[in-house]
Amino acid sequence: MFTGIDDVDWASLGHAYTDTATDVPGLLWGLASDDPERREIALDGMYGAVHHQGDVYDSTVACVPFLFELVRTAGRPERGAVVELLRSIGESVREDSPLEFCGCDEDEEEWRRMIGRARALIREGVDGLLGLLDDPDPELRAALPGALAQLHPDPVRVFDALCDRLRVERAPGPSRALVRAVGSLGVAHPARTAGAAAEVLTRLVAGTPDPELRLTALVQLAHCAPQSVPEDTVDICRDVLRRAGRAAPAGEDAPERPRTDTLISYLRELERDHRASVDADLVGDLLTELHHALGDRTDLRLPLLMDQLRAPGRGHKLGALVMARQLLTGWRVPAAEPVAAVGALLLDPDERVSDTALNTLLHLAPVVGPAVESLEAYIHSWDDRELEADVPWYEMALCRATEVLTLAGAPDVVPTLVSLLSGHDVALEVPARLPDWIRALGPEAAAPLGPVLRERLAALDPAAPDADQVHLVGALGVLEQPESAPLLTAVLRATDDPRTRWAVVEALPSCGTAAADAAPLLRDLLADDGLRPEQRARVARALWAVTEDARDVLPVVREALSAGPDARVYEALRAASAMGPAGAALAPELRALIAADRSTGWAGVALWRVTGDAREALPALLRGWTSQPNQRPVISRCLLDMGTDAAPALPLIRAELDSPRHHTNDGAAPGMTHRLHEDLSLLRDCRRLAERLEGTAG
């Protein structure tokens, strides 16, 4: 084995940590060792240096033939791990790989030739792996299908070989690997393999007695041929869930490995301990993947989620709660039944399940109504427990349950908040999300909090930086009470803390001209040459709000509209929008932003606010709606204010109302949690727009 390894000039090669790769032959021999500890240390060295973070060096390329030789050598242990290493190297050098030239000492053309050599060696070596699909080593048989599907240049040949092996494979790990590889080929090469893959997977879904293999096939069918997913998909999953108590943990086929002082060993133990702590099994992993593969098929996903929420066992409950958060925030589905089921898990005897249910309800707060009784019962169960002043909010489940009700906009919670924040029982720290709570309640319902918050802010030393001070200032800004103006002005005058200063600048506009005494302080801020343009725009917006005098404001906003990337322009657009017709002189800068296709939606909103010309602003609003979905809530409010002049937007409004997804969910990240309240607000605006504009259509 390793014929010619001593003929390689390793000293002239390098890897991540040195310009000489003389240690690499020792790593290769370590991979071939009979000693499991030495093998693990060698594998860690390969990933840590020779293939560091997916990079490819000349020493990496020199290793490829020897790695293939090791895999082909019958009887050597852990060849599956070497296949995974080759697969990772091959993935890094694919034609469409994101791997880029680092621009160090080497020549870029030479680097590209090196990558080409690696690609050719992988292509040459991988063909010899087809004959190992029947190797006695199950770990190797489990690693090969995915590597062949990913690296082999002839997908049809690989597909046929995998299907041939699938007919006779009996070991569970290799069988599932074969099914996953068949599905991945169907996705990667739809014109050549998708139809045949769908047939193979459909037969497995209908006929295999192995529940995990059946579910694996169903997942792959949803990936490569979603139109072929059977109508009884939920029944199939329900049957698998019934047997889930006998499901094997993920990684069941992996051999026992020694504990070594390596990153590989540490990560393996970390993963094992995590999976044990949440009682994770293969069925749970597959159901999560199935949800993601089904995407917009919420007609299947919602009943499947309900079955998961009611399934026994910590692992399935925890997985279902995570999926509830993703599905109910990312897709527009009927929420009452799943939210009630999540609420029921608040009282689960397993504290981890209960805590995860509470965190899930925090994300679902705007639709938490069906879980209110469960929340109240949960809060009641805490009556005999003491609150401690030095414990953060997010470490007290009682306070998080109160937060859920607050974010749900329940006005009955306001007296509780007054009591908790006033210090009558215990003076808790000010919650970081207190401004969000007040937004959810609305300034009118939350008005009784004003005196309490001002009392707490006045008791703090304004010259001493304090997180409570920042949160209180932000909350008073959302309350929009003019009587807060003197206190906010006093804090601005006294503080040297940047966080507090900017919190006050953000809060002052809510007080309007009642905060006119703050104008000299704001002008002093504008005179600071160290401020960035977007910071100056924030100060200018506050100055306009407290003085309604455009003279000092217009030049600042005009400069900021021409400054830097979109993130900086945003503050200037807020200021321009706030000025309304008084900012008409900013129209040329706004038109320039729109012409450059920068922050188009927000710029269109600002243009309409300052000019009132719907015909000019509307094309920008419609373009921004399509190209920048995150701006739709702002645009929809502007369209509502336009009235019937917004009629050309009606097709987009109808499409939004018909969409099954949250407006920021493009399907690229199915596991993402979205901000539910923004989407619900957008939908309310769209319904009002549709009702108003239907009569003007056509």
Q: Tens digits of per-residue pLDDT, 248-284?
A: 555 555 566 778 888 778 777 877 776 676 666 789 9
Place of tokens 């090196």: 114
On the question of pLDDT at 188 being above 70, the answer is yes
Q: Tens digits of per-residue pLDDT, 284-315?
A: 999 999 999 999 999 999 999 999 999 988 99
pLDDT tier, 663 (very low <50, low <70, confident <90, very high otherwise): very high
Place of tokens 């309350």: 479
Which DSSP state fits 451?
A: H
Q: Tens digits of per-residue pLDDT, 480-503?
A: 999 999 999 999 999 999 999 999
* pLDDT of amino acid 568: 77
Question: For residues 52 and 47, what is the distance between their CA atoms, to the nearest angstrom?
Answer: 5
Cα Rg for the chain, rounded, in angstroms?
A: 31
Question: For residues 69 and 311, what is the distance between their CA atoms, to the nearest angstrom?
Answer: 47
pLDDT tier, 697 (very low <50, low <70, confident <90, very high otherwise): low
Q: Tens digits of per-residue pLDDT, 72-84?
A: 999 999 999 999 9
Q: Tens digits of per-residue pLDDT, 309-362?
A: 999 889 999 999 999 999 999 999 999 999 999 999 999 999 899 999 999 999
* pLDDT of amino acid 160: 97
Average pLDDT across the chain, whole number: 91
* pLDDT of amino acid 688: 96
* pLDDT of amino acid 329: 97
Structure tokens at 369: 């109504």
Q: Tens digits of per-residue pLDDT, 668-688?
A: 999 999 999 999 999 999 999
The answer to whether 430 and 421 are in contact (CB under 8 A) is: yes
Can you give the pTM of this predicted structure? 0.87
Q: Where are the alpha helices (DSSP H) in 519-658?
A: 519-526, 533-547, 554-561, 566-579, 587-595, 600-611, 614-627, 632-642, 650-658
pLDDT mean over 92-111: 74
* pLDDT of amino acid 145: 98
* pLDDT of amino acid 466: 85
Q: Tens digits of per-residue pLDDT, 119-138?
A: 999 999 999 999 999 999 99
Which residues make beta-bridge pairs with 331?
661
Task: Read off the amino acid at residue 342.
Answer: V
* pLDDT of amino acid 110: 86
* pLDDT of amino acid 522: 97
* pLDDT of amino acid 383: 56
Q: Tens digits of per-residue pLDDT, 370-381?
A: 999 999 888 887
Place of tokens 């343009």: 533
Nearest to 217 by CA among 160, 187, 188, 176: 176
* pLDDT of amino acid 393: 62
3-state class (DSSP) for residue 93 = coil
